[in-house]
Amino acid sequence: MEKVLKRAINTKKHLNEVYLEVRKEDFRDACIYLYRNGESILRVMFAVDEREIDGMFRIYAVFSSPGKDEFTILYITLKEEELSFPTITNNIPAAHWYEREIRDMFGLIPEGHPDLRRLLFHDAFPANSHPLRKDWNITEDDLREWGEGTTVKEPYHFMEVEGEGIYEIPVGPVHAGIIEPGHFRFSAVGETIFFLEPRLFYTHKGTEKHFEQIGFHEGVQLAERVSGTSSFSHSSAYCMAVERMAGIEITENAKAVRTLLIELERLYNHIGDIGNICAGTGLAVGYAKGATIKERLMQLNERLTGSRYLRGINVIGGVRRDIFLQRDDILSSIDTVTKEYKEFMKLLLGTVSHVERLEDTGKLSKDIARKLGATGITARASGISDDIRKAHPHLVYDRLDFEIHTMSKGDVLARMMVRAEEAECSISLISSLLEKEYKGELVVDLKVIPAFSSALGYTETPRGSVFYWVMSDKDGKPLRVKLRSPSFCNWPVVPFAVHGNIVPDFPLCNKSFNLSYSGCDM
């Protein structure tokens, strides 16, 4: 840390965020130093078009140090005419998608990056067009041709595997089940998957640019619609970022409501996911039971908030409803759910044919998970003890008693068991939250948002950590909203986990990760 500090040409501190400006040529060394010696985790990396301030682009890399509630944010400044920066992917593989994203969105080239193909945009999107630049625009014709998808403007070459007996299976974007769109290209030897290349971003909706256009307050609704089943955690992280940027502190009561709903969201997701894994092994009764318990929780959500996906509760500065008024309803529902859930798990773990399918399937090693920056269930099932609720305590998590649940094997069974333990943990967190009384107004008024200020917001979604980084422009309107959903970190590890498995087990592996396409594609 000291070594990096010495090299910094500019430092500032805002809450638990330490911003260090380094020279372009020192950037790689500083990042590697934090990554190797400090064992920091790369949380998010992004660029910002700050040309309206001083004619510069900036690239930020956010690291969090283990055992310390602090973010080290390294950044470099790029002049308008120098359109490249040194890549850190060769040393910190977790950066590879972030850098490709920066290239697509800003046209800043990560020099030395091993894979400079497009990530976000498909073939028909115009070449040298970068939507997050402030002066970007696109013609109607280009838009139409992009939608038609027939004119190839920058071709994408899938990686090819050659050899005797290897054949390709292309799947998607429209799949057989009721799931989101994505294209998968398997290179298989017989039934065994040798290599998988996912081609995602079919649901790219220009979310980050849209955040800039609609304003901070309306952004809450957009954050709720980034990834359907993590609506509440996304909007909580977004609100937290804006609140920290504006320098307001929400009340104890609002914090407790948010914590409670985040845990309710985790609970319905985890139980639903465990049920879904049964759909992957063909255990119909397990799937039906899981879906019934999930439905019970969804209906509780609806009674509490008016939305089955907990939408419309978060606002900047607090929450709209005091959920604690419905204490009895929550308690009795959670009681029923706990009983049903225990029976459900007994059934699953007692079904040998089910458990055998899960064991040793879709194994992800700790090494790969760490190198590629996996987060959430995916990381914890491979033995990485990382949970934002513990690493950077927020809301009322610092006063709650809970543990990080990890497994070491990294297979489908481990991911299911981590979910099972976390679901039980969520139940106990909900009960202990309901025991206490909380004071304070529901909403704190938002004062003026200061010009050119920025802050991070984060929380642990059911899938892993989510990060929002917001920055205001001279009028207090959004200059940049960077969102990093857990699925963006976890998608790159899927090909490593399915290598060596049979093609029919792919849906099972995929279900055990349960990644969001919409959250990843933005």
Partner 1 sequence: MIKEILKNITGRKRVIPFPEGFNISPEEAAKVISLQEMIDSIFSRSLRIRQVDAGSCNACEWECTALTNPVYDIQRFGIDFVASPRHADVLLVTGPVSRQMELALKKTYIATPEPRLVIACGDCTVDGGIYKGSYAVTNGVANVIPVDCYIPGCPPTPVQIIMGLHSLIDKMVRANTK
Q: Measured from the CB of residue 449, what is the shortest distance to partner 1 in angstroms?
A: 21
Q: SS3 for 21? A: strand
Smallest gap, in angstroms, from Cβ of residue 179 to partner 1?
6
Coil, strand or helix at 48: strand
Q: Does 177 bind partner 1 (CB under 8 A)?
A: yes
Question: What's the min distance (Å) between Cβ of 214 and partner 1?
Answer: 8
180: contact with partner 1 by CB under 8 A: yes
Question: Going residue by residue from 363 to 402, which x/- string records binding to partner 1, judged by CB under 8 A?
Answer: ----------------------------------------
Q: Which of 93, 107, 126, 131 binds partner 1 (CB under 8 A)?
A: 131
Hunting for tokens 């682009």 — which residue is that?
A: 57
CA 269 – CA 274 distance, rounded (Å): 9
CB of 203 to partner 1, least distance (A): 4
Total residues interacting with partner 1, rule: CB under 8 A: 55
Return the range that interacts with partner 1 (CB under 8 A); candidates 19-27, 34-42, 83-91, 296-304: 296-304
Using DSSP's 3-state secondary structure scheme, residue 45 falls into strand
CB atoms within 10 A of CB 188: 18
R_g (Cα) of the chain, nearest Å: 23
Binding-site member from 12, 13, 23, 205 for partner 1 (CB under 8 A): 205
148 belongs to the binding site for partner 1 (CB under 8 A):
yes
Amino acid identity, position 460: E
Closer residue to partner 1 in complex, CB, 30/226: 226
Distance CA 47, CA 33 (A): 21
Strand 71-79, strand 56-64: pairing: antiparallel
Contact 495, 194 (CB under 8 A): no
Kindly state whether residue 288 participates in binding partner 1, applying the rule CB under 8 A: yes
The number of CA neighbours under 13 Å toward the Cβ of 368 is 19
The CB-of-287 to partner 1 minimum distance in angstroms stands at: 9
HSE on the CB side for 372, CA within 13 Å?
24
Nearest approach, Cβ of residue 176 and partner 1 (Å): 4
Q: Which stretch binds partner 1 (CB under 8 A): 159-167, 203-211, 245-253, 357-365?
A: 203-211
Sole window of 259-267, 293-301, 366-374, 436-444 interacting with partner 1 (rule: CB under 8 A): 293-301
Give min distance, CB of 215 to partner 1, in A: 12
* Number of CB atoms found within 10 A of residue 148's CB: 9
Question: Do 124 and 149 form a contact (C-beta atoms < 8 A)?
Answer: yes
Is the Cβ–Cβ distance between 216 and 479 less than 8 Å? no
- Does the footprint of partner 1 cover residue 179 (CB under 8 A)? yes
Q: Supply the DSSP string of 451-504, one letter for each residue.
A: TT-EEEEEEEETTEEEEEEEEE-TTSSEEEEEEE-HHHHHGGGHHHHHTTSBGG
Residue 292 in contact with partner 1, rule: CB under 8 A:
yes
Which residues sit at the interface with partner 1, rule CB under 8 A?
121-122, 131, 138, 143, 146-150, 173-174, 176-181, 201-207, 209-210, 213, 221-222, 225-229, 231, 272, 288, 291-292, 294-296, 298-299, 302-303, 308-309, 311, 516-519, 521
